[in-house]
A and B are shown apart, each in its own frame.
Chain A
Amino acid sequence: MIESTPSLLLGPAVRHDGILARALGAAAARVGQDGQGFVASLRAGDPGTHSAFRYALAQEFCRYVSGLGATFRAVYVYGSTMDGRTRPSSDVDIIAWVRRKSDTVESLLVRLNRLLTEGYKTLVGCSSLRSLFDIHLVDDEDIDCGRDYGSVIRSVWTAPVCLWRR
């Protein structure tokens, strides 16, 4: 990206390779593989490897939002990432709890998701994936009223796991 690119086109600070690399390294260490072996397993579609990678990606998502002031309160993950049924085209289901939903938060997460999705598709060779993360924003009011995904956080059926909390 060259100098003089306006805002809203591409944020220079979001580096998908950094986030992907950290997630890859953490997940590979967890399953006792080196990076190349891990990528090979990902490309082979191994569900356990994909589950581990998504879990690590969710952790990196937490690390990312935890560094953005006090807007984000907590991050929950649920669905296939947590139950080992992950396929190469599975997304990572996330509920992000923010103080207040805003266009700025939304825009930021859209960008991050787009960047990571494109990076993931190249890394894993999975062109069919539309979106790596399926992020649902909830705010204090949603939690208080048990509204939308604010109710899912307490659901015993969905059982989301709080991966990070301020």
Chain B
Amino acid sequence: MMYDVHGGHASVSPGRLHPRLGNQRISPNETDHPLPVAVWTTDGLSRLGPKEVEPMTPEQARQAQATVERALGRAEVSPYEMFRAQVDLAGEKLGYPADTLEMVKRPERVVEVSVPVRMDDGHMEVFTGYRVQHSSVRGPYKGGIRYHPSVTMDEVKALAGWMTWKCAVVDIPLGGGKGGIVCDPTTMSEGELERMTRRYAAMILPFVGPQHDIPAPDVNTNARIMNWFMDTATALRGEPMYGIVTGKDLAVGGARGRREATGRGVVIVIEELLSRLGRKIAGSTVAVQGFGNVGSVAAQLLHEKGAKVVGVSDVSGTLYNPNGFDVPALLAHVTRSPQRLIAGYAAPGVQALPGPDVLTLDVDVLVPAALEGQITESNAGRIKAQVIAEGANGPTTPEADLILEEHGRVVVPDILANAGGVIVSYFEWVQNLQNFYWEEGETNDRLAAILRRAFQGVWDNAKKHDVSLRTSAFMLGLERIVEAIRLRGVFP
């Protein structure tokens, strides 16, 4: 069955459908243009003489690879350069002038700090920390702090820009920022982590604050680290600073519903998309890749709404149950498991499959909620789900995006699908400022209202410009940022 999504209506149509937001059926032979050209193949060619058709020997290939690797060293394309390229692409479509785009692309402020830490063995280690404040045109900077050996300034700049977009897409009054420390937290003791966090907080304290820049957890950081950050700021400023970070524990100013927010948001956007395709969650079949905070919550909520979760996976493998999992029972098993894994769960009808198979199960909805780069050109063509909601960051490669589009799959991009987390971070900050805390139901209702409105905006924009939801979201975010710049003007 194919679904006509023209105009956002839920009617079912067997004909040619909206090319970007639903199935596209094109006969492989319908446009075969015979052209008077020389046709070469990529395997063996050419017109330039017999030498050119000599294939590379394995030794030559190895040498070439080694030569390129030596020449390139560890050179990588900067994520920030990629961010700039994406802004240019969206800006060109919207007809924005280059000077406006330059203002949008550049971070407003970049801070690099040295973070000396007395390690447990007595020696002093000096870590490098960053805080990038990309844009405050729509509100205070907002964005996580990551601890990882691969953190670079370029990456932090790109991710800060991404946060500006994310907040703009869901239309919350916050800008974008990001921070990080170059470190390997897996090799550090709790004491070392605490001292590093507190020193980093002290070093960037002149640049952050509840009305200015509000960090949050990110890769390898968590509520405990946010608690330390807040406590350090409180001690140094001499007044309560609950609103200086979000993602804290409940007892020290955290928000009810924060842990479930990202998974809950994924389910909301799935519901919105399905309704536009003339379908409902109830009765749909679902596969979830990743059974952590995002995937397990999404699976639980989808189950509660009547979906049949038939496939789940985590690092321990894939489980498949064509009759649908008893998700609460599976969650109870994971909670009991020492490593919180799905492996070992047994119930009637449950089969173990190789890990990647979860992506290609015959389901209506797929939720990739594990790592980035999971849906690639090698498996995209075998994905059967009509709807893919990116719970993880960057689970779909650009090549896979193209193949999914060709197969008529609709992808709700990460910038929208996993925005539940930043929205509830915004709620936490609001509650901290007011010192008035909401019940979980209020958080969930407000989250749903913001995400449904955001989805509608992205959907309408996709139709208006005839682009994918991913490009639409990016364009919509850019429009909102540029509009804020226009209204505020440029100082002086």
Give chain A's interface residues, CB within 8 Å of chain B: 1-14, 16-18, 20-22, 24-26, 28-32, 34-36, 38-39, 55, 59, 62-63, 66-71, 73-74, 76, 99-100, 102-108, 110-111, 114-115, 118-119, 122-123, 140, 143-144, 153-154, 160-165
Evaluate whether A161 and B38 lie within 8 angstroms (CB atoms) in the complex, with A22-B64, A118-B77, A123-B68 already known: yes
B406 and A69 contact, CB distance less than 8 A:
yes
B42 and A62 contact, CB distance less than 8 A:
yes
The contact sample of 5 A-B pairs, CB cut-off 8 A, is A11-B397, A70-B406, A107-B398, A108-B399, A110-B86
A153 and B35 contact, CB distance less than 8 A:
yes
Evaluate whether A140 and B31 lie within 8 angstroms (CB atoms) in the complex, with A7-B396, A62-B42 already known: yes
Measured in the bound complex, the distance between the Cα atoms of B407 and A69 in whole Å is 9
**Residue of A at shortest CB range from B474?**
A8
Q: Is B185 an interface residue (CB 8 A)?
A: no
A9 and B162 contact, CB distance less than 8 A:
yes
Q: Please give, as numbers and ranges, the residues of chain B lying within 8 Å of A24 by CB-CB distance.
A: 64, 67-68
Tell me the residues in window 409-436 of chain B with beta carbons closer than 8 Å to chain A beta carbons: 413-415
Which of the segments B6-14, B50-58, B224-232 contacts the partner chain?
A: B50-58
Q: Please give, as numbers and ranges, the residues of chain B lying within 8 Å of A99 by CB-CB distance.
A: 26, 31
Q: Please give, as numbers and ranges, the residues of chain A lying within 8 Å of B394 by CB-CB distance.
A: 4-7, 9, 12
Tell me the residues in window 50-99 of chain B with beta carbons closer than 8 Å to chain A beta carbons: 51-52, 54-57, 60-61, 63-69, 71-73, 75-79, 81-83, 85-86, 89, 93
A7 and B82 contact, CB distance less than 8 A:
no
B82 and A29 contact, CB distance less than 8 A:
no
**Residue of B at shortest CB range from A163?**
B40
A106 and B89 contact, CB distance less than 8 A:
yes
Residue B37 contacts which of A1, A59, A140, A162 (CB distance < 8 angstroms)?
A162
Evaluate whether A59 and B82 lie within 8 angstroms (CB atoms) in the complex, with A7-B414, A21-B64, A29-B60 already known: no
Q: Is B402 an interface residue (CB 8 A)?
A: yes
B31 and A1 contact, CB distance less than 8 A:
no
Measured in the bound complex, the distance between the Cα atoms of B78 and A25 in whole Å is 25
- Beyond the given A8-B470, A154-B36, please list 4 additional residue pairs across the A-B interface where CB-CB is below 8 A: A70-B406, A74-B35, A99-B26, A161-B40
Q: Is B205 an interface residue (CB 8 A)?
A: no
Q: What class of interface size applies to chain B in its complex with A?
A: 35 or more
A162 and B79 contact, CB distance less than 8 A:
no
Q: Please give, as numbers and ranges, the residues of chain B lying within 8 Å of A140 by CB-CB distance.
A: 31, 33
B401 and A104 contact, CB distance less than 8 A:
yes
Measured in the bound complex, the distance between the Cα atoms of B299 and A42 in whole Å is 54
B85 and A110 contact, CB distance less than 8 A:
yes
A36 and B67 contact, CB distance less than 8 A:
yes
B20 and A4 contact, CB distance less than 8 A:
no
Measured in the bound complex, the distance between the Cα atoms of B41 and A16 in whole Å is 22
Measured in the bound complex, the distance between the Cα atoms of B396 and A13 in whole Å is 10
Residue B376 contacts which of A13, A111, A118 (CB distance < 8 angstroms)?
A13
B64 and A71 contact, CB distance less than 8 A:
no
Tell me the residues in window 260-305 of chain B with beta carbons closer than 8 Å to chain A beta carbons: none
A161 and B393 contact, CB distance less than 8 A:
no
Q: Please give, as numbers and ranges, the residues of chain A lying within 8 Å of B413 by CB-CB distance.
A: 7-8
Residue of A9, A22, A119 most packed against chain B (CB within 10 A) = A9
Measured in the bound complex, the distance between the Cα atoms of B41 and A110 in whole Å is 24
Q: Please give, as numbers and ranges, the residues of chain B lying within 8 Å of A106 by CB-CB distance.
A: 89
**Residue of A at shortest CB range from B219?**
A4
B148 and A2 contact, CB distance less than 8 A:
yes
| The 7 nearest A-B residue pairs measured at CB | A25-B64, A35-B67, A12-B373, A13-B397, A162-B37, A103-B471, A21-B68
